């Protein structure tokens, strides 16, 4: 039996990167997926062909009425919401003295407020059915700071703690909430940021203990686990999937000792 057989999942940011990879994995595992994204995506045709009840809605996660309307209509059509995965997000930032207020608001609105609004859109249904798995997507930069990452890091750190509170508030009602903290994953967002800074990209790669950047499909594997019954006793946790980036510092000592 597939891990997500007959489950109904809502995924934000489902048109690209991690969200798209999760949508593909979820339908492979037997789920019906309601995707939400500001943009369309040709790849979704294969998803809907594989899982006919699945669909992609074009909407903004900062629009609470639009989110609630999509979720409510999906509940009427499909009967439940078993899983929420919040993958919608943007990257922006800079040192505080160089970051204008509009840029700060935009990052916080999409990354943090958008997560809150997505949870708010599904939580009443999960309460009524006394079950549900909420999976938020934060970042290793929500756990450890990074140079120039003020707004992004603050938004992702907020997602980590918001998720812990959701786990505390709703656990007795059968609702689990966990966070995935990806490391540096090769996605369109990653490429747009890193291609302009090749030296910085090379330096980051040196600190990844597995020696490579991650793939969106590897985050989808973690998201599938958290959505499944295999994670039935797991809530309030931040699952770091980063190739060992946050394990500690490397200084070339083991190479000098011949471990290459």
pLDDT in single tens digits along all 260 residues of the chain = 699 999 999 999 999 999 999 999 999 999 999 999 999 999 999 999 999 999 999 999 999 999 999 999 999 999 999 999 999 999 887 899 999 999 999 999 999 999 999 999 999 999 999 999 999 999 999 999 888 889 999 999 999 999 999 999 999 999 999 999 999 999 887 887 777 777 788 888 999 999 999 999 999 999 999 999 999 999 999 999 999 999 988 877 878 888 87
Instruction: Identify the sign of the CA torsion 47, 243, 178, 18.
Output: negative
Where do we find the tokens 């994204």?
37
User: Residues 33, 23: contact at Cβ < 8 Å?
Assistant: yes
The pTM for the full model equals 0.94
CA distance 176 to 227: 9
CA distance 24 to 28: 6
Query: Of how many residues is the chain composed?
Result: 260
27, two tokens: 């339908």
What pLDDT is recorded for position 39? Answer: 95
DSSP-assigned letter for residue 74: H
CATH 3.30.70.1400 fits 8-185+215-244, yes or no: no
User: Residues 179, 237: contact at Cβ < 8 Å?
Assistant: yes
**Active site residue ranges:** 152
CA distance 111 to 153: 10
Q: Which sequence spans correspond to the domains of the chain?
A: 8-185+215-244
What pLDDT is recorded for position 141? Answer: 94
Instruction: Identify the sign of the CA torsion 149, 133, 38, 240.
Output: positive
CA distance 244 to 36: 31
């Amino acid at each position: 039996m597939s891990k997500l057989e007959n489950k109904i999942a809502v995924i934000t940011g489902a048109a690209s990167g991690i969200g798209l990879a999760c949508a593909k994995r979820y339908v492979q595992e037997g789920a019906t997926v309601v995707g939400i994204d500001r943009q369309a995506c040709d790849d979704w045709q294969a998803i809907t062909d594989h899982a006919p009840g699945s669909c992609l809605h074009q909407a903004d996660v900062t629009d609470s009425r639009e989110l609630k309307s999509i979720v409510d209509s999906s509940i009427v059509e499909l009967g439940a919401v078993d899983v929420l995965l919040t993958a919608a997000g943007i990257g922006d930032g800079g040192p505080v003295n160089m970051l204008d207020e509009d840029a700060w608001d935009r990052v916080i609105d999409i990354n943090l407020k958008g997560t809150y609004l997505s949870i708010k859109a599904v939580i009443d249904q999960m309460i009524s059915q006394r079950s549900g798995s909420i999976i938020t997507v934060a970042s290793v930069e929500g756990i450890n700071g990074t140079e120039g990452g003020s707004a992004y890091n603050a938004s992702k750190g907020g997602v980590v703690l918001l998720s812990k509170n959701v786990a505390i508030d709703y656990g007795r009602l059968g609702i689990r909430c966990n966070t995935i903290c990806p490391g540096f994953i090769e996605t369109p967002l990653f490429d747009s940021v890193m291609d302009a800074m090749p030296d910085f990209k090379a330096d980051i790669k040196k600190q990844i203990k597995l020696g490579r950047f991650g793939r969106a499909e590897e985050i989808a594997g973690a998201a599938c686990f958290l959505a499944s019954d295999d994670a039935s006793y797991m809530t309030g946790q931040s699952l770091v999937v980063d190739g060992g980036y946050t394990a500690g510092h490397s200084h070339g000592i083991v190479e000098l000792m011949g471990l290459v």
